[in-house]
Chain A
């Protein structure tokens, strides 16, 4: 959904998304990284299993919640990516989604 502007700061780092290694720009929020990867949806709602993705990017909509390093319900827009970050999207009844 989003791409990096051509002359912006260089440098990609590797994170793990649902068990797969992914390259994302360093220094950005995880929510931005997920949009960069088009890893959409980032979660499904508990009631209707509806697909959701980052909405406000400023930490108040709670749509971008994913599991980070084993901790659930983390707002992806409030966390900066780092090498080796383990991210899990809860897309299927609480079980991590395998593959994109």
Chain B
């Protein structure tokens, strides 16, 4: 690993791989760092190193990733797997942990392609063993060929939940129930966006196929579910909820929860990039220009970490940004950049045509997020909704003051699974939009590092 690169790409998912290749193929010296041992990010996880006998039944979208990953492996790029970024600042200095060793790196340009994370779903009991995210279930399937031993319950709302259900069914796994929290009124509101969505009819078609497969398998499907509670003592035993005007309790040892995904913003925050609240997507997104450039010079953000758009849009966006990096470095002129980018921009627009429909159809009903007083907001520090509400009522000026008073967000996950909930609670208490509330400020380390690892780099410099 050199000390400095023209371009450092953080993340080897579809967007990161694409940005790296687009820049490298125009002569830019590129390093890609990624935490995992194989490229592909979450969506293409293990796509060319699968433990499954065949990946065909995981769907053609997943298979598409295989060519991407294989092209990436052959590109003229310095690729560093098992490398985490624990420090990043606006001057584009990076602190890395590379196979257990602390390394420093500086870059003329950085592309942050860290992807998305799931929205936290703080129902009572969500911290019990046996409750996992739907994404976690998918990772177990793709990277370890592991499937539930007992029929699982899938609860929440969103395309990923349906995708996982259809994949389990194709693998011969029985699903105990789908507890669908999608608000009924979303269906009518989403109709408005249907004409535009028809511009990405293939997505609609795939979605319908998944729903049909689930229906055909006669999986019990509870709609308009509210009041979810995960119950159990040392581990999950059942899920209680209300649907169709009745209370239900379903015994299960595995609950896979999902309420959509949102951009993972820790790195963007650490680099000082501005972000804005997007009401339609109900999440924060970094403020970017058409080329993916953030509010910080030399720092770009691509993929789902820039805004949820799916893998195809991520790859196209990565290529567009890679071209911009090449242009900024003087490798191609503006006319060439624009000519090459135009078809990519158009293709990306087409893939994004489905978003307004999906965002509206699966829009989370925030009034049910973090609303049960006994539910845990902060899993790491074991802090409840009630405690956060008390801090809010004490006059905490915002999420950071709530953190100072309650320790919420000070644990190892550094606010990833509680920040959104704290924002919702404050917004509700103050009767304002989340955009007015603000967010936790991000601080290093972005990923774990020990004092000894930090000290070694210092000791080496002496």
B287 within 8 A of A: no
Interface of A is mostly: loop
Please count how many residues in chain B sit with their CB below 8 Å of the partner chain's CB atoms. Answer: 44
Choose one: B118, B135, B379; the contact of A63 (CB below 8 Å). Answer: B379
Q: How many A-B residue pairs have CB under 8 A?
A: 125
A3 near B147 with CB under 8 A, answer: yes
In the complex with contacts A35-B146, A57-B136, A28-B381 CB distance below 8 A? no
A75 vs chain B, min Cβ distance (A): 7
- A4 and B143 CA atoms in complex are apart in Å by 11
Known: A1-B149, A78-B35. Is A32-B144 also a contact (CB below 8 A)? yes
Is the C-beta of B42 less than 8 angstroms from some C-beta in chain A? yes
Q: Residues of A contacting B145 with CB < 8 Å?
A: 4-5, 8-9, 25, 28
User: Which chain A positions have C-beta within 8 A of B127?
Assistant: 50, 52
**In whole angstroms, what is the CA distance A75 to B169 when docked?**
30
A1-B130, A27-B51, A62-B411 known; A53 and B143 CB under 8 Å?
A: no
Asked whether, in the complex, the Cβ of A51 is within 8 Å of the Cβ of B416, the reply is no
A40 within 8 A of B: yes
A5 to B147, CA, bound (A): 6
**Contact partners of A96 in chain B: CB under 8 A:** none
CB-based nearest B residue for A27: B51
Of B147, B411, B413, which one neighbours A2 at CB under 8 angstroms? B147
B53 / chain A contacts, CB cutoff of 8 Å = 5, 7-9
Q: Which of A5, A9, A58 contacts B171 (CB 8 A)?
A: A5
Contact A55:B235 (CB < 8 A) given known A2-B146, A4-B146, A25-B51: no
Q: Which of A47, A78, A80 contacts B382 (CB 8 A)?
A: A47
Question: Taking A5-B146, A57-B135, A60-B117 as contacts, is the C-beta distance between A41 and B51 under 8 angstroms?
Answer: no
